[in-house]
């Protein structure tokens, strides 16, 4: 990847003249079966571009209560697009159903917000990397479009959802007006995400990206890392899922004080509930060489990725069992 980045052909992407960025955008759009794509510095920007292009000020966007857009994008929806988020809590580990969404749709009245967009997250980060069944996505999408509501997918980890379900990125993407994806995270590129959709929507997104200061010049250097990741690192994601499962199973079998809901361990995220206070627990683990972060709702969060081996995962799990019993 570093070699590809060092050798990248570049141009000025503000003038759409960077051949490597253009290639990345073309490949990711084709992979998702969309007309066009736009390279962005981050997943947050890709999601926020979707909100900006789909809505007008004062609109409402339905999201899951534990979604990234609602919890981790620093009120950007109200800040940048002046829309309101309507968080709906999913009963099934972050995975919404049409029945749960229906009551959140606003009646049409001048004094009510307009429900403009539903944004789903697949895999669902705070729920522990859980995957939407394709049928569920289709059902929500049909319901939304019949009601004149647009659909966006926060697909930061769509690649993991595909590796788990055996479905293609296109299978999921065809149910959405826009899809954002990340080349960082599990794919291992240092920078960048993309938003994909129709030519018209991506032209609008390009304008907002510039307004928000995200127009980049010789971005081919980082896009080359993303392109390398897209081409080479998707198939190996199943390995990360196997490592996460093994890590979780060792702890589940041998620990009384670190609890794991094994049904949630579908992809590369493992959520752990410790008896001891979270901050002190994470600090103790760090001292012992195991890096977990604070996840949602007081849980600790472990991630497997291309830089940790199966042996690392087994050792980390055994350290947790040894330290906490």
Ligand X SMILES: Cc1ncc(COP(=O)(O)O)c(C=O)c1O
Query: Which of 25, 66, 154, 177 is in the footprint of ligand X by CB under 6 A?
Result: 154
- In sign, the C-alpha dihedral spanning 216, 218, 224, 225 is negative
Structure tokens at 284: 């103790």
Contact between 125 and ligand X by CB under 6 A: the answer reads yes
Choices 5-13, 40-48, 141-149, 251-259; region in contact with ligand X by CB under 6 A? 40-48
Query: Which of 53, 55, 60, 68 is in the footprint of ligand X by CB under 6 A?
Result: 68
Contact between 193 and ligand X by CB under 6 A: the answer reads yes
Contact between 182 and ligand X by CB under 6 A: the answer reads yes
Contact between 64 and ligand X by CB under 6 A: the answer reads no
Whose Cβ is closer to ligand X: residue 76's or residue 323's?
A: 76
Contact between 71 and ligand X by CB under 6 A: the answer reads no
Residue 87 beta carbon to ligand X: minimum distance, rounded to whole angstroms: 15
CA distance 177 to 159: 18
Residue 94 beta carbon to ligand X: minimum distance, rounded to whole angstroms: 10
Contact between 266 and ligand X by CB under 6 A: the answer reads no
- The gap between the terminal CA atoms of the chain, to the nearest Å, is 40
In the complex, residue closest to ligand X by CB? 43
Contact between 240 and ligand X by CB under 6 A: the answer reads no
Choices 41-49, 54-62, 161-169, 267-275; region in contact with ligand X by CB under 6 A? 41-49
Contact between 129 and ligand X by CB under 6 A: the answer reads no
Place of tokens 């749709």: 105
Whose Cβ is closer to ligand X: residue 67's or residue 281's?
A: 67
Which residues are near ligand X by CB under 6 A?
Answer: 42-44, 47, 68, 121, 125, 154, 156, 182, 184, 193
């Amino acid at each position: 990847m570093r070699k590809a980045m060092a050798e990248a052909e570049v141009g000025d992407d503000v003038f759409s003249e960077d051949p490597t960025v253009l290639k990345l955008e073309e490949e990711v759009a084709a992979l998702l079966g969309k007309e066009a794509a736009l390279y962005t510095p981050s997943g947050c920007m890709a999601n926020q571009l979707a909100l900006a292009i789909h809505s007008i000020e004062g609109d409402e966007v339905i999201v899951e209560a534990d979604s990234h857009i609602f919890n981790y994008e620093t009120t950007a929806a109200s800040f940048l697009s002046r829309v309101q988020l309507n968080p709906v809590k999913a009963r099934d580990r972050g995975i919404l159903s049409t029945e749960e969404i229906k009551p959140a749709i606003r009646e049409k009245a001048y004094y009510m917000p307009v429900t403009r967009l539903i944004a789903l997250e697949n895999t669902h980060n705070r729920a522990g990397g859980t995957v939407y069944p394709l049928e569920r996505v289709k059902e929500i999408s049909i319901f939304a479009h019949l009601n004149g509501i647009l659909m966006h997918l926060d697909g930061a980890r769509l690649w993991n959802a595909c590796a788990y379900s055996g479905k293609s990125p296109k299978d999921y993407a065809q149910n959405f007006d826009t899809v954002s994806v990340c080349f960082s995270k599990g794919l291992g590129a240092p920078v960048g995400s993309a938003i994909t959709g129709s030519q018209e929507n991506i032209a609008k997104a390009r304008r907002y990206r510039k307004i928000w200061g995200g127009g980049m010049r010789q971005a081919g250097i980082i896009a080359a890392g993303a392109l390398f990741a897209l081409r080479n690192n998707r198939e190996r994601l199943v390995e990360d899922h196997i490592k996460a499962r093994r890590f979780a199973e060792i702890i589940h079998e041998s620990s009384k004080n670190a609890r794991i809901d094994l049904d949630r361990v579908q992809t590369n995220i493992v959520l752990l509930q410790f008896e001891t206070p979270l901050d002190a627990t994470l600090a103790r683990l760090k001292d012992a060489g195991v890096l977990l972060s604070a996840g949602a709702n007081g849980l600790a969060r472990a991630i497997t990725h291309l830089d940790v081996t199966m042996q690392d995962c087994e050792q980390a799990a055994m350290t947790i069992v040894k330290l906490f019993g």
